[in-house]
Amino acid sequence: MVTPAARAEGQRLFGAFQTWGAVPVEAAVLQPAETLLDLYGEDIRARAYVTQDPLQGEMMLRPDFTVPVVQAHMAGGAEPARYCYLGEVFRKQEGASTKASEYLQVGYEVFDRDQPLRADAEVFALFSRMLAGKGLRAATGDIGILIAAVKGLPTSDTRKAALMRHLWRPGRFRALLERFAGRAPLPKGREALLDRLAKGDKVESPAPQIGLRSRAEIEARMTKLSEDAATAPIPAAVVDALEALLKVADKAPKALEAMRALAADMPWIAPSLDLFEQRLQVLAAHGVAVDDLDFEASYGRTTLEYYDGFVFGFYAEARPDLAPVATGGRYDALTTVLGQGRSIPAVGGVIRPALLVELGGVA
């Protein structure tokens, strides 16, 4: 239930975004489930409200605005473009959570092909100004650095793809990394299967074949498992450097120094660190005090998976029980997925007006 106070605060923020040149857009409350499932897999089903429409098929109550806004822009939006929106989103909450399952969201999105760093700085600086004096702490990160770190690993494409799939699941990612480094044993069932394959035994079962995978697909999967078992471990120094990278958390300039040191063992991350340094310079030019800006290398790894670059959030440190008041980031790859052959650099963010009201931070 959205309160009148939250609605009023949302309208105020919505109007402020329009004064910055953003064009108001709307998105249907019911969104095709197929698009979201294709993007995020079945994980999104546990967090969204799903229903069945007799004509349109499986639908979801809108879990966010970014996907429909990107779809609308890629279908024929002008370039560059700035959009804003205001409306309810719906997210399931687990157990006895006190977090709202329906809440108001106001957002701002920038599509700019020529100056993505300036767009990053524009969005973050705008949010910083709009939320100034509310007692919030800003946190930033850069998923692009982590993606570069994984893509450059001296290991097979299969292993890199597996790590990339779980980059947004820190526990699973670490478990895979430890196994690929030879520091953790294989699951017992897989170890037994590989032992049989190594001996040349045929893996047969008297049970009838069921499910969607064909025999050929199953055999191809077993071949991949054998090839993976024969892959050399990722060098210990590289694994140590990657694990240290994931733990970097400091003021942005100090964090950059720490990551530069780690690049001695992962030189392939140097270009992404150069980009990070350039962004800090552009942020400073937009009035952001980068020397006081918190940076966490792992920030954004538990949010929606479409972020692939600069990410940020604003938190009420005095209320750790609350969700972030605002979040955002860069999602270039999403425009490629939804663009039907087209793509454009894009960055944006959202604010939850109800949390500002709860904190007493409305103007």
Give the neighbor-by-neighbor strand order of the sheet with 102-111.
23-24, 81-90, 102-111, 346-351, 326-330, 310-316, 136-142, 294-296, 249-251
| Beta pairing partners, 348 | 109, 329
**Beta strands 346-351; 326-330: pairing state:** antiparallel
Q: How far apart are CA 256 and CA 246, in angstroms?
A: 13
DSSP string computed for 291-313: GG-EEETTTTTTS-TT--SEEEE
Which SS3 state, helix, strand or coil, does residue 135 take?
coil
Instruction: Please give the pLDDT value at position 55.
Output: 84
Question: What is the rounded CA–CA span in Å between residue 247 and residue 250?
Answer: 10
| Residue carrying the six token digits 């960055």 | 347
Place of tokens 């597996």: 162
Residue 180: what pLDDT? 92
pLDDT digits (tens, 9 = 90+) for 84-135: 999 999 988 776 666 778 899 999 999 999 999 999 999 999 999 999 999 9
Res 218: pLDDT: 52
CA distance 143 to 173: 14
Exposure of 174 in the CB half-sphere (CA atoms within 13 A): 10
3-state secondary structure of 144: helix
Nearest to residue 163, comparing CAs of 153, 152, 176, 154? Answer: 176
Pairwise CA distance, residues 170 & 163, whole Å:
10
What is the distance between the alpha carbons of residues 281 and 268, in angstroms, rounded to a whole number?
Answer: 22
Give me the pLDDT at residue 301, please: 87
Q: What is the DSSP letter of 47?
A: T
Q: Which residues of the chain have pLDDT under 50?
A: 226, 363
Alpha helices in the chain (DSSP H): 4-19, 33-40, 66-74, 116-130, 143-151, 157-165, 170-180, 188-198, 215-229, 236-247, 252-262, 270-285, 332-338, 353-358
E strand segments, 42-101:
50-53, 57-61, 81-90
**Residue 233: CB atoms within 10 Å:** 13
Q: Torsion over CA of 98, 294, 313 and 120, rounded to 10 degrees?
A: 180
The values of phi and psi at residue 24, to 5°, are -65, 135
Tallying the residues shown for the chain, one arrives at: 363
State how far the Cα of 255 lies from the Cα of 259, in Å rounded to an integer. 6
pLDDT of residue 225: 53
Q: Give SS3 for 251.
A: strand
Calculate the dihedral angle through the C-alpha atoms of 80, 295, 320, 174, rounding to the nearest 10 degrees: 100
Q: Which long-range contacts (CB under 8 A, 24 or more apart) does 254-262 make?
A: 255/295, 255/297, 256/280, 256/295, 259/145, 259/297
Q: Which of 129, 168, 148, 110 has the alpha carbon at shortest distance from 276?
A: 148
Integer Cα distance of 184 and 94 in angstroms:
31
